[in-house]
Amino acid sequence: MLQEVPGADETHGIFPKSLHKTLCALGSAALSGLNGVCRSVLADGRPFVRLDETDLLETSRRRTGLDDFHDDLFREPLRILLDSFERDADLNLVGRVCVRSEITRMLCNRLYMVADCGRNPEIHEEKIQRPLFITGLPRSGSTFLHTLLAQDPRCRTPRIWEVMQPSPPPERRTYDSDPRIGRTERQLKWLDILMPEFEKFHLIHARYPQECIAITDHAFLSYVFETMYQVSSYRDWHDQQDKRPAYEFHRRFLQQLQWRCPGSHWVLKAPSHLMALEALLAVYPDADIVVTHRDPLKVLPSCASLTRVLRAPFTNRLRGEEIGGEVSNRWEGSTRYAMRFREEHHDLRQRFYDVQYPDLKEDPLAVVRGIYDYFGREFGPDAEKAMQRFSAANPKDGHGVHRYTLEEFGLDRDAERGRFRFYTDFFGIAPEA
């Protein structure tokens, strides 16, 4: 019997049920109005929505009836993150409510997972063998490729619904009818209110694959926070940390999902893996890694525009030039790190397969065959047919076109072209029209 997460039906993940219905009816204008009232009357909601470590831990214990978090490694990252939310993020009322809700959900998931393993210690014995990771610059086709590869009926991918609610461990018999799928779909409807432009950027559905940053966020060592919020002091601290604890938690998460619902191999994805290849391969020494590449002058404004869409509902401060500089710095540093790591570890060169965005756009199935052949994996006819159907049903810009420019984010075309020349020259990346 699946255990119900306390409060799941009452809160819809963010707001009380009655307020959820009202805001759904009124749409994004209601959220803007709510934030406006908050700015003028409620001092940004600080006295009303607490982001206090002790309070959040107690709330999660009370909500679950559990108190074992397995270890305290997450406590320092959580403390620094909460401090950065207060000092840097300039959260509005909606932002504070959403942050509190999400952190509570992650803490509850940790408690439930520890309890699951206590009852079923064999979960820890699950072997994660030859996982396939997809990484590369954001907006370079990695999400499409991830979802395409997930069509292979033999493989395993972390689906959005099971990442949001991983306890109890999913099982094969009820995997396609699990009630958590419906609950997650209801929660995802918030994206239409909070971020009406989001579907133009990203394929999302309760059954679609989820990025690894939505797993590592449970360790509070994740790049998801800097993407969603302006947490500059946390970002600076996080950049200096050993990422192995995040990947070790990531492995425990996959063991949880795999225990009663295995596959031939995991297919996983996050652009942020570029920044943590050493930790990834320390935890998954037999991993295969696909790296997607695209003209940075296309990547940067698209990434900046998505960042603006993601942050807009949650903050009182949103500056295009600030986002542009942040995005350019982040991905220049990431590509330099990844290239240096690969150059210093020639013994691992067979573990990487590079994919050019124009090739993926022109013939996705040819790219998939190249990946399977390179890594010596079997590409069966069922997988090929499923991928052909998915590719035909999901053309580029099928949910609309979102337009943006480098200039609106304070980025100069010639300067950015020169800044990333080390990368485009090395991988032979041609400028896109």
pLDDT digits (tens, 9 = 90+) for 88-131: 999 999 999 999 999 999 999 999 999 999 999 999 999 999 99
Those residues whose C-beta lies under 8 Å from the C-beta of residue 112, and which sit 6 or more positions away, are 3, 5, 64, 66, 166, 167, 168
Mean pLDDT, each 10-residue run in order, the chain (433 residues) = 35 43 48 50 63 97 97 97 97 94 97 98 98 97 96 98 98 97 91 73 83 98 96 98 98 98 98 98 98 98 95 94 97 98 96 98 97 97 97 72 87 98 97 91
**How is residue 423 written in tokens?**
């990368």
The total of other beta-carbon atoms located within 10 Å of residue 381's CB is 7
**pTM greater than the 0.85 cutoff:** yes
Q: So what's the pLDDT on residue 78? A: 98
The total of other beta-carbon atoms located within 10 Å of residue 31's CB is 18
Contact 141, 299 (CB under 8 A): no
Which DSSP state fits 352? E
The dihedral built from the CA positions of residue 272, 278, 283 and 288, taken in this order, carries a sign that is positive
Q: So what's the pLDDT on residue 15? A: 45
Q: Smallest Cα–Cα separation from 228: which of 243, 241, 211, 245?
A: 211
CA-to-CA distance for 342 and 277, rounded, in angstroms?
9
pLDDT digits (tens, 9 = 90+) for 129-147: 999 999 999 999 999 999 9
